[in-house]
Homo-oligomer: A and B are copies of this chain.
Amino acid sequence: MSTNPKVVLAYSGGLDTSVILKWLQDNYQAEVITFTADIGQGEELEPARQKAIQLGIKPENIFIDDLREEFVRDFVFPMFRCNTLYEGEYLLGTSIARPLIAKRQIEIARQTAAQSVAHGATGKGNDQVRFELGYYALEPNIKVIAPWREWDLLSREKLLAYAEQAGIPIEMKHKQGGAPYSMDANLLHISYEGRHLEDPKAQAEAEMWRWTVAPEQAPEQPCYLELEYEQGDPIALNGQRLTPAQMLAALNQIGGEHGVGRLDLVENRYVGMKSRGCYETPGGTILLKGHRGIESITLDREVAHLKDDLMARYATLIYNGYWWSPERRALQVLIDHTQQNVNGWVRLKLYKGNVTVVARDSKNSLFDQTIATFDDDGGAYNQADAGGFIKLNALRMRIAENTRRRRAS
């Protein structure tokens, strides 16, 4: 019977997490349990299994899950119900995937009676925070191992040397010098950091982008989509009912073809520094526009404004890793409650990077043509009411100015 500590590692099968795997075995004499998830990053998972076996992981300690539907249904869609943007622009593609991975890792730790979990995020980024806040919230006494904060393999060279020594297969690209972009992908987006992006005044390389064509290369013909919404979530595309993951995949496909969803940004990390990132979020960019469009006719004004007032706060919670916090949950309850009547369809036009809403309708529409019309409305709205409305809204300002004058005179 082994008394070695068990560690559940979030394992991608790539170079970095393979080095971590080995390092956990070497440094902690750990029995490593690997967890590899398909959240739509677009890579085969079987190679990860093979590599794990090759690195000595017992078959029963290899967990490979397809979490795509859960990811979109329980994380991406709830977030989009709030029209969520971090710092006015970022669709939170990386942030929203971490809580799911943390949750599943903890579940596996319970199942395998592991005392520890480990991840491959660095000590400078947001992801370590997102993973670990999730771990601690769900399993408060878990031991967290964050190799990047512990080891001394901080340069690319040392890492490669360790890998070589440990017999970890190294792909050609890693050997051919030059730090790669730090990339992260899932069904919602792919991100790029590092390398010459570290200079905010340097333009991103054209070859960097992977999911979308450049607007210049997109088709000359616009594409029109119809999205149907039910309680704030998209359920059908051009009349065809799709599961959440199918929906996002389909929109990524179409959006990518039309050059939709590129973003080049300097953002503020939770750990206190600014960082430059480039993102491709084709489906998400369409979903944000679509959701604003369907809400525009189905949501009460003050409810919409309440949501807008809370949006940045909600976005920051997700960005900072507080998905599993009680305050995020409380906000979610409010947000979800507001979506009851957010039903209907939105017609969107995609063209060379642009996404625009061109039409929308709903059986729950609050748009009242009789009242909105510039033509005679047959008395539906009494224009004289506006006089009193303005008078009372102006009253406090009139009193203030009259008071000021009385005093001055």
Residue positions of A touching B, CB distance < 8 A: 83, 87-89, 122-124, 128-129, 132-133, 136-141, 146, 148-149, 154-156, 179, 182, 193-194, 198-204, 215-216, 220, 222, 262-268, 271-276, 292-293, 296-297, 300-306, 308-309, 311-313, 316, 322, 324-327, 329-331, 333-334, 337-338, 347, 351-354, 356-361, 363-369, 371-376, 381-403, 407
Contact = CB atoms under 8 A, between A and B. Distances in A.
A401 to B, nearest CB: 4
B274 A149 contact: no
B399 A179 contact: no
19 contacts: A89-B292, A123-B386, A124-B381, A124-B383, A129-B386, A129-B389, A132-B390, A136-B391, A149-B384, A156-B375, A266-B293, A268-B301, A271-B389, A274-B372, A276-B367, A300-B397, A303-B327, A382-B388, A388-B388
B397 A388 contact: no
A265 B359 CA distance: 9
Contact of A391 (B215, B302, B359, B385): B385
Total copies of this chain within the assembly: 4
Contacts of A182: 374
Contacts of A302: 322, 325-327, 396
A365 B403 contact: yes
Given A276-B367, A363-B407, 16 more contacts: A124-B386, A128-B390, A129-B386, A133-B394, A137-B394, A146-B386, A198-B372, A264-B357, A273-B368, A274-B368, A303-B330, A306-B331, A309-B312, A330-B338, A365-B403, A371-B395
Contact of A200 (B128, B220, B297): B297
